[in-house]
Amino acid sequence: MSRPIYTIAVTGLNAIDSPGPGVAVIRGLREAASFDVRIIGLAYESLEPGIYMHDLVDITYLIPYPTAGADALLERLLYINSHEKLDIIIPNFDAELYSFMKLEAKLRDSGIHMFLPTFQQFEERHKVNLSTFGKKYGIDVPEGIAVSDSSEIHKHADKLDFPMMIKGKWYDAYVAYNIEQARTYFNKIAAKWGLPVILQKFVHGTEYNVTGLGDGEGNVIAAVPMRKQFITDKGKAWAGISIDDKKLLELTTRFVSATKWRGGFELEMMKSGDGKYFLMEINPRIPAWVYLAVGVGQNIPEALALLALGQKPEPYKTFDVGKLFIRYSWDMIVDRSEFENFSVKGEL
Amino acid sequence: MEKKHYERPHIVRLDAGMPGKSGLRSELPPTTHIDGVAVAELIEKYGSPLFVLSEKTIRNTYQKAYKAFSTRYPKVQFAWSYKTNYLSAVCNIFHQEGSWAEVVSGFEYEKAIASGVDPKKIIFNGPAKTREELVLATENGSLIHIDHLDELYMLVEVAESTSQKPRVAIRVNMDTGIYPMWDRFGFNYENGQAWDALNKIMHSGKLELMGLHTHIGTFIMSANAYAVAASKLAELARSLQQKFNHQLKYIDLGGGFASKNTLKGSYLPGSDTNPTFNEYAEAISSALINSHFTPGELPLLILETGRALIDESGYILSTVIANKRMSGGRRATIIDAGVNLLFTSFWYQHQVTVAQGTSQYREDTSLYGPLCMNIDCIRESINLPLLNVNDHVVIHKTGAYNLTQWMQFIHLRPNVVLIDEKGEVHIVREKEKLTDVSGSELIPEHLVKINQNS
Amino acid sequence: MKINHNLAVSESGFLFNPGTGESFTVNPIGAEIIAMLRNGKSRTEIIDSITQLYQVDRNSFEKDLQDFNGILKTYNLLEKDE
């Protein structure tokens, strides 16, 4: 029996030193057991490496930044759809998710499917609301406060103590060891990602991550825990190993069933010295290291694509423990004319 | 042979990481017409800069807001917030649609009366009402919202001399989980000030307690904050019912709904993120319906929404005066509308579009107004097509606060026109003349003559 | 006023400076001016040519040309006068 061919658009082609998940997601899709794919890249900048990986990406289109608003994005996506006839879009950036969620119904009318968290899930798990989220679902989270003015840092310094995490609403996190550093980071983050900025209690310990997929009805379709083996100066895992940790999987199940999580996710956990897990952050999308999950037997991008199309994929129950992913850089040689074409026409 | 359309020569370096924006189609299409009327014609006929209001948008927005609430709650009344835009033509559109008037000064009160608003349908808010104003409002039967104890005591005194009993509510401030918490107006809920003031009113026997009022802040991005506010007011109402067997006529949740403008420092545009009327209505109605009130007891819900009802109806049309280059090579464009007309540019990133067709080329520009003042900046950084001198631009969502907070500063203020629902254009405020400004000045005798000969 | 002679300008308005590795995009009028500069046209010749082809008066264009030259200079696209 011949397998269906789906046209799937993917963002996050910035496979750089702090990578977007797009290229890893595409590798998962290309290895899918149940379908073949035609991959449409969606890029924000003309130097995103994925644009030039012609063995992975069939054609890439430039799309407007989220700051341009959902209407501008819709117009561009409909234009792309008129040329490519998209079945599925998998957005991979936190900052763009809101716009895509807003367009979910409209895109469905044009035959384009997505499988995204609901607005409630998206808002609840937001860094700004994480403290409330922890209380509501009985999950330990480090104390956090959202502030809109750097003068407020002083007020909360006693309670949170130094070192203190300073985090942006969308991206960026810094450890501040004193109030001056905290103010500097506050200003840096506020200028880039806007207000509020989150002050979070620093938890000492070892970092563990889980990537997974919820079906929107409370069931875990996939979940793979990983311990970071090597962390870059940007805080990204350069190598990690799949582990068998019942407690982490239990927490993941509780998270998915309590929130009825819809879509891919990454839980960033910190295991403190006394063995207690703190949920540091919930990323409402597939992480860049998702290819480890594919490699150990849980093809999350494939299952997500099937869910998007309204199918009910079998939940993955097992995975290989003790497999490593080791990330590496790769220099492509690209002719100037390709860069020129994409820069001028917005398509390649 | 017909000459080709001219566009300035333009070159831009592609910096690493920066997207090649030129490949994208224009993010915002040009605004050549407003409600079917050509922008170029409006400027030709009424001058530049020019304030334009769309009656169609005002009515549509009002009807959308009213419907959002009236389909969820049985008794809803809007009161037009005069300070947001008190041009008579604008106020009267809202009054025709059924709005009461919400005023915060003797001047605004007089204006509402002069427009023929039924005094019983005027809500008098604000922290600075004079004794004379209170006497007048009491005799007229207007609704007086008490801001502080000094006003409460003054009203009790006023009540001794007036034929009418003052019809009052108190303004309550509270913690609704939003920052900053507005606690300078009214009586605090959490520390018991509000309950104390209500007791004083009930025990005085001189005032007729009609309702409760709150106004939790401005540009509130969380609909849930209103649910908290509504619940807290409902609690106060229940206490009044239990202790004094007193039924309130209304609960007034004030204003503060965000318009579709984008605040400075926001990453996503306001049109995507700010709550809709439906979301605000859902939060407020649910909170009241789920409170202790039985269906028959549900009080009238009053809303003093200003900004969200009028912002999108307003435009400023402006003309390019000059293009220049800053010392660092950055492009700057000077237009004839500045912060003197666009007070809100201090906190919004106003959307600006061009009024004529353009190519796909864009450049990052600082957009300055015509004032000889460093603060006069409309947008610090905006991606605009290549503008020529005398080209027109349209500044969007300027209907709220600008026509009340604008300044006669350096320049005289321009015409304000209203496009009615048939597309007819009416001047609703004439542009100022020198005599409008200097006409009320008096010059002492010894300063009349100036010596220009030496 | 002489333009770097080894600049590569493509039809799509993409300009590459092989000496520095920098890339630029230029609009059609900008490309026309650069082409004329490469062909050794004088300032006056450029002004004559553009004002004949496009709806622009001499004063306005002269000002825009001066600005454009300033930018070319900032980007090191003009050869230093010997």
- Residue appearing with tokens 């106060």: B236
* Residue A225 identity (one-letter amino acid): P
Q: Is there a single domain that holds both residue A44 and residue A111?
A: yes
- Among B221, B267, B353, the residue to mutate for chain A (most A Cβ within 10 A): B267
Mean pLDDT in residue range B342-371: 90
- What is the Cα–Cα distance from A289 to C22, expressed in whole angstroms? 34
Mean pLDDT in residue range A206-212: 92
CA B124 to chain centre: 17
| The dihedral formed by the CA atoms of B334, B339, B340 and B344, expressed in degrees to the nearest 10 | 150
Domain count, chain C: 1
Q: Is there a single domain that holds both residue A13 and residue A102?
A: yes
What are C48-69's pLDDT values in tens digits? 999 999 999 999 999 999 999 9
Residue partners of A107: CB distance under 8 A and separation at least 6: A74, A77, A89, A113, A114
Question: Domain of A93?
Answer: 5-115+331-345
For domain B27-52+313-432, the CATH superfamily is Lyase, Ornithine Decarboxylase; Chain A, domain 1 (2.40.37.10)
SS3 label, residue B440: coil
Question: Domain of C32?
Answer: 2-79
* Cβ contact B309:B61 at 8 Å: yes
What are B233-249's pLDDT values in tens digits? 999 999 999 999 999 99
* Cβ contact B333:B387 at 8 Å: yes
Alpha-carbon distance B340 to nearest alpha carbon in chain C (angstroms): 29
Q: Is A132 inside any structural domain?
A: no
Q: Is there a single domain that holds both residue A11 and residue A111?
A: yes
Q: Which of A339, A341, A344 sits opposite C13 (nearest CB)?
A: A344
Indicate the residue among A162, A186, A201 that finishes a domain: A201
Length of chain A equals: 348
Alpha-carbon distance C58 to nearest alpha carbon in chain B (angstroms): 12
Check CB contact under 8 Å for A193 and B272: no
CATH number of the structural domain B55-311: 3.20.20.10
* Cβ contact A20:A4 at 8 Å: no
Count of A-C CB contacts under 8 Å: 17
Indicate the residue among A177, A201, A225 that finishes a domain: A201
* Tokens at C53, concatenated: 């082809």
Nearest to C68 by CA among C30, C19, C28: C30
Domains B27-52+313-432 and B55-311 share a fold: no
Buried b (16+ CB within 10 A) or exposed e, B9-22: bbbbbbeeeebbbb
Residue A344 is classified by DSSP as H
pLDDT above 70 for A325: yes
Task: With cut-offs at 50, 70 and 90, classify the pLDDT of residue C80.
Answer: low
Per-residue model confidence (pLDDT) at position C74 = 85
Task: With cut-offs at 50, 70 and 90, classify the pLDDT of residue B89.
Answer: very high
- What is the Cα–Cα distance from A103 to A96, expressed in whole angstroms? 11
C26 to chain A: closest CA residue: A344
Contacts of A47 in chain C (CB under 8 A): none
CATH code (residue A182):
3.30.1490.20
Per-residue model confidence (pLDDT) at position B27 = 63
DSSP A253-281: HHHHHHHT-EEEEEEEEEE-TTS-EEEEE
Q: How far is CA C23 from CA B64, B182, C13, in A?
A: 50, 52, 11
Contacts of C12 in chain A (CB under 8 A): 340-341, 344-345
Residue A295 is classified by DSSP as H
Work out whether strand B143-146 and strand B122-124 pair parallel, antiparallel, or are unpaired: parallel
Partners of chain B (3+ Cβ pairs below 8 A): A, C
B15 reaches A (C-beta below 8 A): no
Nearest to B299 by CA among B75, B43, B90: B75
Angle between helices A130-137 and A246-259 (to 10 degrees): 100
B269 reaches A (C-beta below 8 A): yes
What's the mean per-residue pLDDT of chain B?
A: 92
Mean pLDDT in residue range B358-376: 88
* B302 DSSP β-pair partners: B77, B252
Q: Which of C22, C25, C71 sits opposite B22 (nearest CB)?
A: C25
Alpha-carbon distance C6 to nearest alpha carbon in chain A (angstroms): 16
SS3 label, residue C13: coil
What are B128-184's pLDDT values in tens digits? 999 999 999 999 999 999 999 999 999 999 999 999 999 999 999 999 887 777 888
* Whether residue A66 has a cis bond before it, omega within 30° of 0: no
Per-residue model confidence (pLDDT) at position A94 = 86
Alpha-carbon distance A53 to nearest alpha carbon in chain B (angstroms): 17
Q: Is A12 inside any structural domain?
A: yes
Minimum mean pLDDT among A70-79, B137-146, C4-13: which range?
C4-13
* Residue B265 identity (one-letter amino acid): G
Burial of C21 (0-12, 13-18, 19+ CB in 10 A): exposed
Give, in degrees to the nearest 5, the angle at Cα B360 between C15 and C42. 45
Residue partners of A135: CB distance under 8 A and separation at least 6: none
Per-residue model confidence (pLDDT) at position A159 = 79
Per-residue model confidence (pLDDT) at position A152 = 83
Q: Is A252 inside any structural domain?
A: no
Q: Where are the domains of chain B?
A: 27-52+313-432, 55-311
- Among C10, C22, C27, the residue to mutate for chain B (most B Cβ within 10 A): C27
What are A86-137's pLDDT values in tens digits? 999 999 998 899 999 999 999 999 999 999 999 989 988 887 788 888 888 8
The residues of C whose Cβ lies within 8 A of any Cβ of A are 10, 12-14, 16, 23, 25
Check CB contact under 8 Å for C16 and A340: yes
- What is the Cα–Cα distance from B397 to B315, expressed in whole angstroms? 6
Check CB contact under 8 Å for A344 and C14: yes
Residue A347 is classified by DSSP as B
Max CA pair span of chain C: 36
CATH code (residue A41):
3.40.50.20
Per-residue model confidence (pLDDT) at position B419 = 98
Work out whether strand B100-103 and strand B76-81 pair parallel, antiparallel, or are unpaired: parallel
What are A134-170's pLDDT values in tens digits? 888 888 888 888 888 888 888 888 877 888 888 887 7
Per-residue model confidence (pLDDT) at position C25 = 87
B13 to chain C: closest CA residue: C24
pLDDT above 80 for B25: no
Domain count, chain A: 2
C33 reaches B (C-beta below 8 A): yes
Nearest to B277 by CA among B95, B78, B61, B53: B61
Q: Is A173 inside any structural domain?
A: yes
pLDDT above 80 for B22: no
Residue C14 CB coordination number (10 Å): 24
* A36 DSSP β-pair partners: A5
Residue partners of B220: CB distance under 8 A and separation at least 6: B178, B226, B256, B257, B258
pLDDT above 70 for B57: yes
Buried b (16+ CB within 10 A) or exposed e, B24-61: bebbbebbeebbebebeebbeebebbbbbbbbbbbbeb
